[in-house]
Structure 1
Amino acid sequence: MRRWLIEGALAVVALLLGSFFLATTLSEGDAWPLWAELAAGLVAIAGLVLFRRSRPVALTLVLIPFGLLFGMPMGAAPIALFAVALYRPARVAVGVAAVHAVSLAGVYLIALGPTRVYWESVTFMVLLDVIVVAIAMLVRSQRQLVRSFAERARQAEQGQQLRLEQARLGERERIAREMHDVLAHRISLLAVHAGALEVRREAPEGERAAAGVIRQSAYEALEDLRQVIGMLREPADDRPQPTLADVPALIEQSREAGARVELELGAAGPVPAGLGRHAYRIVQEALTNARKHAPGASVRVAVTGHAERGLVVEVDNALVAGGPTLPGAGAGLVGIGERVQLAGGRLEHGPTTAGEFRLRAWLPWTP
C-alpha cells in the first residue's frame, strides 16, 4: 500500500512538471496537438510507475528523446533520473545525467539557436538534473547508513547471544568436570569395597561372586565416565575442587587485591561437598562482577542456611555512578544462573532501593 501511495505521488509530481513544461511550450507556439501531448504524458507516467524501480536506466534513456519531442513527458524525466541515482551506482547516474544534458543542449541549440532563451532553458534543465541527482545520492547514502547501523546492531546482538551461550556452555562444562571428579571418587570407593568383599575368604561364594560383579561393573562405569566426561577436563585443571571451606581464602585474595569485602558464614552443620562447591563458584563470580562494575565499592558476602531451609548465598555491593568500570557482556550472571538452575535453586539479582546491587541465590541442601 505504501509503495503505491509513493508511486501515485510521483505520478502527480510528474504530471505537474509536465504541465509546466507543456505550458512553456504552448507559449512559444511550437507544441504538438494537445491530445498528442496528453497521450505522450500518460505513456510516460505509466512507464514511470511500472519501471521506475526495476529498470530506471532504460526508462530514463527512453524518456530523454521522448521528452525532447513532447512537453508532457519532460516532467517524468527528472523523476526517472532520480530513480537512477537512487538505485544504481553514482557513475551510472552521472553518465545518464550527462547524456540528458548533452542531448538537451544539442536539440535546444538547433531549435532556438544561441539565444538568451536557449541559455536560460539549458541552465535550468541542467541545474534541475544536478539537484535531482544530488538529492537522490543523499537519500541513497542515508539508506545505506541506516542499513549499516541495523547490520551492526544485528551483529552485536548475535555476538551477545553467542557470548551468553558460551558462558552457559562453559559453566555446564565446569559443572560436568566437577561431577566427574565426584562420581569418579564414589565409584572408585564402591569398586574398592566390592573388591575387598570379593577377596574375603569367610564370605559365602555367592556374595563373593556378586561382589566381583559389582567391582567389575564399577570399573566399567568409571571407564565409561572418563570417556564421556573426562574429555572436558582441561590439561591444567587437575587441582582439587573448592568447597565452602575455601570461601574465606577467596575473600582474602580479593582483599589483597584492594577490595573491601565483609564475610559472614552462618551455615549450620557440615555442608555437602557439592553444595559448598556451588556456593564457592557463585561467590567467586559475584566478586568478579563487583570488581568489574563497581570497582572500589564495599562488598558484603553472606552464606547462611541449614539442612531444612537450604543454603542462601547473598552478595551485596554499593552501586558506583559515573565511576570507571571494566567491560562486560553480562555472561557472569548467565553462568551463575545456569549453575543455580542445574542445582535446582533460585537466583535473584538487581539494584535495591538502598542504592546497592544484590545477588541472592538459594540452593537446596542435597547431599
Structure 2
Amino acid sequence: MKAIIDGLIVLPNEIINGHVIMYEKDIWRIVPRKQFRAGMCSEFIDANGGFVVPGFINEHIHGCAGADTMDDDDQALKTMQQALPATGVTSFVPTTMTMEQGRIEKALSRIRQARDDYQGGAQVLGAHMEGPFISPAYKGSQAEENIQTADFSWLEPYADVIKIITLAPETLKNKKFLKDCQDHGIIVSIGHTAADFDQAMDCMDALGSCHVTHLYNAMTPFHHRRPGVVGAALLHKGACCELICDDLHVHPAAQKLAYQMKGRDGLILVTDSLRACLQGDGESSLGGQKVFVKNGEARLADGTLAASIAPMNEVVLHFLINSGASIPDVVSMATVNPAKALGVYDRIGSLEEGKQADITILDSNDFHVKQTVIAGELAYNEEA
C-alpha cells in the first residue's frame, strides 16, 4: 500500500485537510490523519501542504516536447505520454489536424495502438479530430487545401477510437452525419465555423448536448445584432465549451464571462498545445505549416495565432485567477467535466475510493507540478 500525506485534497465540491490518500493501482481509502499509521503503507509521498488533485485530462492537445500527433512516427505519442505528467496531465485525447485523408487515418491508427498498448506515462483515451470538416473562413492555422465536406463513411472504420470531432455545422449537407456520430458515441464539437446564431442553435438543438471547440477562437463572434456561434454557445444549456486559458487566446474578462454564463459544469479547460509546448522560443510546426514561437506566442508566418504553448497546470492557474471561481470548480473543469463527457468518469476524473489512482500534487502558491501518479505509479517527481 502507498500513501499521500500532508496535502490539501481537492474533491469535486470541497477541499479537505488532515486526511491521507491510501492507494495501490486504485484509490483504496481516504482517511483522517489520526486513523493512519505509518506501518499501514510501504511508500509515502509528502505533499508538504500542496494541493492534491485528480490527474488532469486534456481533451484537446496537438503536441508537446517536440512531438506532434500527426508525426508519422510511432515514438511521437510516446514522447507526449512521457512529457505530460510534468504538467499534471494523466490522460489525454491526441488531436489531429486538417491534413490529407491518408495522414489523418494513419494518425488515428497510431492513436488506437497507443491506447490499446499502454506502456506508461499519460494514458491515451482516444482521438480528437479537429477537421477536416471545417469552414475555410475560420480555418485558423488549419490548411485550407485539405478541408472536406463531412462524410461519415471514411470515419466509420475508426469510430472506436474517435472520441471527439470538430465540425462546422453550416457545411453539412444534412443532419445524418450528426446522428451517425451520436450512434457511434462520438462527441460533435462545433468549431472552426462561419455558422450564424440560428445555424449554431439548430445544430445544438439537434444534438441535445455537444462541445464547442476552443470557445471564442475560430468562430463567428458575439455582436449585439449577430450573436454568432459565441452567443449560441453561451446560451445553449447543452453546449459544453472548451477554453484555452493561456491569457492570449482568450482575454481574462472573456474567461470570467464564460464562467458566469456557463457555470462549472459547462466548461472544459484545454491547452490546444503544439509541439513547441515545453520547448521554448524558436521555429516549430503545426499541421505541415511553419510556426514561430516568441515571447510565449506561437504564430504562422503570416501572423495568424496558432495553437497554444501553455501546459495544463498553467491553464488551470490562469483560469483560477481570472474567473473568480473556487479551486474545486476550476479543477473540475480539467478533470470531472472531460471525464464525464468522454464516458470515463466511472474510473478517472475525481479522487474517490475505487477509482484509478491518477493523482497530481501542485504547489499551493504557483501550481507548478511536484509529483504525478498514474494508475498508482509515480510518473513524475520534480526532485528526481
Say which structure is richer in strand.
Answer: 2
Choose 1 or 2 for highest CA Rg.
Answer: 1
Structure 2-normalised TM-score? Answer: 0.21
Structure 1-normalised TM-score? Answer: 0.22
Q: Compare relative contact order (CA 8 Å, sep 6+) and give the higher one, 1 or 2.
A: 2
